[in-house]
C-alpha cells in the first residue's frame, strides 16, 4: 500500500495559478499510475488527470484540458498538478490517487485507483 499526502491548496481569485503536490511513501512510487480527482460539495468525485508510471503519457478531463498539467518526479516520489487560469467551477477538494494498473489511455475512473490521499481544498473566488 502507498500512502499519499496532498498539499498546495488554498483560497485564490479567478485567473491565478496554483500547484498541488502529492507526496507518496511506502511501495515504489514508479510502480503506480497516478491520478488527480476532485469533489465539489454535493457532487460526485470527478476525474481530473492521470499520468503513466514513467510520466510519458498523460490524460485530462475536457474541463481542465489546456489549463492543468499533471507531472511527476519519481526520484522525489511526488506527483504535481499545475493549475492555471483557475475558475470558480474548479472549487473542490482535490485528491491524488495511485493505481497499479498499467497505462491504457483515456478511460480512467475512480474505480481504477486503490490508494487515495485525504485531499486538499481549492477555493476559487470570482
Cα–Cα distance, 74 to 1 (Å, whole number): 17
Cα 77 off chain centre by: 14
Q: CA-CA distances (angstroms) from residue 58 to 25, 40, 51, 54, 70?
A: 22, 23, 4, 10, 7
Is 97 in contact with 110 (CB distance < 8 Å)?
Answer: yes
Q: What is the pLDDT of residues 54-102, one digit of tens each?
A: 999 999 999 999 999 999 999 999 999 999 999 999 999 999 999 998 8
Q: What is the pLDDT of residues 10-63, one digit of tens each?
A: 999 999 999 999 999 988 999 999 999 999 999 999 999 999 999 999 999 999
Q: CA-CA distances (angstroms) from residue 103 to 34, 57, 58, 106?
A: 10, 8, 9, 9
Amino acid at each position: 500500500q502507498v500512502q499519499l499526502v496532498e498539499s498546495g491548496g488554498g483560497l485564490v481569485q479567478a485567473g491565478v495559478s496554483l500547484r498541488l503536490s502529492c507526496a507518496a511513501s511506502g511501495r515504489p512510487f514508479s510502480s503506480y499510475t497516478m491520478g488527480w480527482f476532485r469533489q465539489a460539495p454535493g457532487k460526485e468525485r470527478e476525474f481530473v488527470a492521470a499520468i503513466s508510471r514513467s510520466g510519458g503519457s498523460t490524460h485530462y478531463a475536457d474541463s481542465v484540458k489546456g489549463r492543468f498539467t499533471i507531472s511527476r518526479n519519481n526520484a522525489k516520489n511526488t506527483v504535481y498538478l499545475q493549475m492555471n487560469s483557475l475558475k470558480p467551477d474548479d472549487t473542490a477538494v482535490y485528491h491524488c490517487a495511485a493505481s497499479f494498473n498499467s497505462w491504457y489511455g483515456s478511460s480512467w475512473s475512480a474505480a481504477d485507483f486503490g490508494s487515495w490521499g485525504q485531499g486538499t481544498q481549492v477555493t476559487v473566488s470570482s
